[in-house]
Chains A and B, each alone.
Chain A
């Protein structure tokens, strides 16, 4: 195991990693930007080091600053968290070149899974069904039109790099396709530095189900079940749960087993997530892999009682997994609510400001992962995630009931949050019946959703 880990992230995930380090008896240094000087992870850390100004490009995204901080504080590993440098194979390579360990897949593994199209091909070859799509990257507009014709409209235009819905458009006609290609290219170029695009068949009423895997350096892998992330707003996940209400127990087991078999065969290492679309018939299609710890990992922790961040560190340190599939028990139902500084009344406009009062909910099966405290000033420079409320119950109905109580108890004064949308979800029949699809919030409109909940 490592002696000392540099935590190169902020907010709730920095705190989560700090806790994992302490649990393992590993020293930790929190690297922070000037804007996060008064943040909770910095305040709680035994050691913290300022790596740059508030601009993430010069702090959390600066490979030289992060690595230099690790070297001068005597760390032997860097945990990148999620976002920022977490899936950057170039960064992982330079980290290794400085005799430090990147806590995540090694650079060569990240590189193998860097291209979404390449990964679909690779895992397709190892037995995972993939969505019908273009043959490789789109060479030009003519190629795009020909491929769309072959696949059949509607199609989704997607950038090879990145995520979060940037550079992504659904089109129903050749005319629409022609008009969005340039925009998608420039969006993808700006966001990811890579303007290559590909096409995918658009599946209308689909669900997003992802499988959590863990694979050690010796090719031994297990799956930790799946998470349903169908509640999305503009391709951003809002609420995640496990198990998925969309599939039968045997279908879930089959999906997870095929996922872990394919990813082990393809040479993956460390914890990772394979994302699938599940259509109305229950058929599933592999879409992409996330080579990092994910925001929604606590859902899996709640139903498996495993510590995924500790697991990630052990694997990176070269330890064998030490558990077999049969050792993993799946117990009960968990739901995570992402609490964001967003205003549902104003198209989810992100906000910032001072938290005048913060009270975390509690009780059986309730976990709050948040970096908030009363008096904390939420800086405007980063993402809007304020924390994650995770509830567990022996069954879905109990988890939902605990979720209602916990959301009611949660107090965040001074900042507008999206708590309302979660309360609306827990009042919606579609959600209660487990029938959410990824496009529902956008199709119905979040405002209509909130209004409907208010009438109940």
Chain B
């Protein structure tokens, strides 16, 4: 409380400005960006720029034009429902979330978004990867969200197929610890 008293008018103004700035940044990242990304996905544009007050946001589409990709995602929509997130269907929903058959969550790459999964083509079971390596991507309205390896290791089982619909947090690819056992002694798994 005494601190507050010692503040002069200038400080108060700075605080207000700073909090306005923070609010603006928060809004840009949290609210405006997803909307812009969606808009970019919806249009055929390669780039989108928005100015608002003192702020400017520019989005550029990674890779080729979008609507075609969007359409493909929509076309696939019929098929993936048969698999993919179908695990969540009535009945097994609660069982699934409680069951202990899941792999150690740390050893599984999960989906960063809801969308359509595409694995990296050059990766196969047995490929060596480092934590943070890109394993594939989930296409969310034409924007690729990277799927990354959670730990160093070797690509194990793919739990979904290319083109499957996946939900946020869904387990996609297991990462196993270094094989063969003889080459390193740190078999701490």
Known: A43-B93, A72-B80, A72-B114. A53 touches B27 (CB 8 A): no
CA distance A90 to B41 in the complex (A): 13
Task: Name which residue of chain B comes closest to A195, CB basis.
Answer: B20
Residues of B within 8 A of A67 (CB): 38, 141
Residues of A within 8 A of B93 (CB): 42-43, 48
Interface size on A, residues (CB 8 A): 42
Known: A51-B168, A186-B20, A193-B32. A73 touches B81 (CB 8 A): yes
Known: A38-B97, A98-B74. A63 touches B19 (CB 8 A): no
B113 touches A65 (CB 8 A): yes
B19 touches A62 (CB 8 A): no
Residues of B within 8 A of A186 (CB): 16, 19-20, 23
Is B88 on the interface with A (CB-CB < 8 A)? yes
Task: Name which residue of chain A comes closest to B79, CB basis.
Answer: A74
Task: Name which residue of chain A comes closest to B143, CB basis.
Answer: A64
Could you tell me which residues of chain B, from 117 to 157, have a CB within 8 Å of some CB in chain A? Answer: 140-141, 143
Known: A34-B168, A37-B97, A43-B93. A64 touches B85 (CB 8 A): no
Residues of A within 8 A of B32 (CB): 193
Task: Name which residue of chain B comes closest to A45, CB basis.
Answer: B90
Q: How far is the CB of B168 from chain A (nearest CB, A)?
A: 5
B115 touches A68 (CB 8 A): yes
Is B39 on the interface with A (CB-CB < 8 A)? yes
Is A412 on the interface with B (CB-CB < 8 A)? no
Is A189 on the interface with B (CB-CB < 8 A)? yes
B38 touches A73 (CB 8 A): no
CA distance A98 to B84 in the complex (A): 22
Is A180 on the interface with B (CB-CB < 8 A)? no
Is A236 on the interface with B (CB-CB < 8 A)? no
Is B165 on the interface with A (CB-CB < 8 A)? yes
Q: How far is the CB of A10 from chain B (nearest CB, A)?
A: 14
Is A378 on the interface with B (CB-CB < 8 A)? no
Interface 0/1 of A171-202, CB less than 8 Å to B:
00000000000100010011001000000000
Is A71 on the interface with B (CB-CB < 8 A)? yes
A68 touches B35 (CB 8 A): no
Q: How far is the CB of B30 from chain A (nearest CB, A)?
A: 4
A49 touches B88 (CB 8 A): yes
Chosen A-B contacts, 12 in total, with CB atoms closer than 8 Å, are: A47-B88, A50-B169, A51-B167, A64-B140, A65-B140, A68-B73, A72-B73, A72-B77, A90-B35, A91-B38, A94-B38, A98-B70
Interface set of B (CB-CB < 8 Å, partner A): 16, 19-20, 23-24, 26-27, 30-32, 34-35, 37-39, 41-43, 70, 73-74, 76-78, 80-81, 84-86, 88-90, 93-94, 97, 113-116, 140-141, 143, 165-170
Interface set of A (CB-CB < 8 Å, partner B): 34, 37-38, 42-43, 45-53, 57-59, 61-65, 67-69, 71-74, 88, 90-91, 93-94, 97-99, 182, 186, 189-190, 193
* Besides A52-B168, A63-B34, A97-B43, 17 new A-B residue pairs in contact (Cβ under 8 A), listed by A number: A34-B169, A50-B169, A51-B168, A52-B114, A57-B30, A58-B30, A61-B31, A64-B34, A65-B34, A69-B114, A71-B73, A73-B81, A74-B81, A94-B38, A186-B16, A190-B20, A193-B27
